[in-house]
Amino acid sequence: MRIVLIGPPGAGKGTQSVLLAEKLQVPHLSTGEILRAACAEQTDIGHQVGEFMQQGQLVPDGIVQKIVFKELSSLACKSGYILDGFPRTVPQAREFDAWLERSGSSLSLVLQFCVTEEILLKRLADRGRADDDRDVIHKRMQQYEDLTRPLLEYYQNHGVLHTIHGGEGSAEDVFAKIEKIVDNAPA
Ligand code: AMP
């Protein structure tokens, strides 16, 4: 299965994508993790994206798409994958659809994580990551509202969108809801 997870920072996509990848025995790809690693290792890409990330801004589409499409073309992703953090904007989703079509595949599911702002802010405060600084969080939330939220309508119109209430109960409770959707979806 090819699954995309969408949600604001702190919504639990990272935790759930690991659980889901284990269940389905497919790789999970987090663009945020890949980009943070590139910054830490000071690679060429790291140098190009560091400034954007520190300010809580999205990095340019071209850079992210090159990374993602290369990974998804690998043998490891042949029988499916979980994508956390891409696509993040409608233009990225359009590019992704064009890429999927060229590759002769399509998305199985898009899972949207809905969590109240109060819970999100508490989780991000507890996490204490470098890009979880208060002003940066605010910027990332704003970017989510302005640029990522329109994606929900895009995928709703494609008939693949499902909503998960990610703030209710433990990670296991949330995962049980996801399993129900995945088990009932066409392969
Ligand atoms: P995340 O861990 O998914 O919240 O991503 C952390 C940061 O990585 C974001 O604030 C962006 O700067 C960058 N990033 C991750 N995925 C994307 C994407 N699809 N498009 C642009 N920037 C991204």
Atom of ligand 1 nearest to the CA of 140: 10
For 89, residues 6+ apart whose C-beta sits below 8 A from its C-beta are 58, 61, 147, 148, 150, 151
CA dist., res. 150 & res. 136, Å (int): 21
Domains of the chain, by residue range, sit at 2-30+80-183
Could you name the CATH architecture of 2-30+80-183?
3-Layer(aba) Sandwich (3.40)
Q: For a ligand 1 pocket test, name from 36, 59, 89, 133 the mutation site with the most ligand atoms within 8 angstroms of its C-beta.
A: 59
pLDDT at 186 over 90: no
CA dist., res. 65 & res. 96, Å (int): 8
Whole-number Å distance, alpha carbon 104 to ligand 1 midpoint, is 27
Q: Does 45 sit in the ligand 1 pocket, CB within 6 Å? A: no
Least confident of 3-17, 32-46, 78-92, 120-134: 120-134
Whole-number Å distance, alpha carbon 84 to ligand 1 midpoint, is 9
Whole-number Å distance, alpha carbon 3 to ligand 1 midpoint, is 17
pLDDT score of 109: 97
Specify whether the CB–CB gap between 68 and 83 falls below 8 A: yes
Whole-number Å distance, alpha carbon 34 to ligand 1 midpoint, is 9
pLDDT score of 153: 96
Question: Which residue(s) pair with 22 in the sheet?
Answer: none
Q: Does 56 sit in the ligand 1 pocket, CB within 6 Å? A: yes
Q: Are strands 109-114 and 161-165 parallel, antiparallel or unpaired?
A: parallel
177 or 186, greater pLDDT: 177
Summarize pLDDT for 103-129 with one digit per residue, the tens.
999 999 999 999 888 888 888 888 877
Residue 6's nearest CA partner among 162, 137, 138 is 162
Whole-number Å distance, alpha carbon 54 to ligand 1 midpoint, is 11
Residue with tokens 């909503």: 163
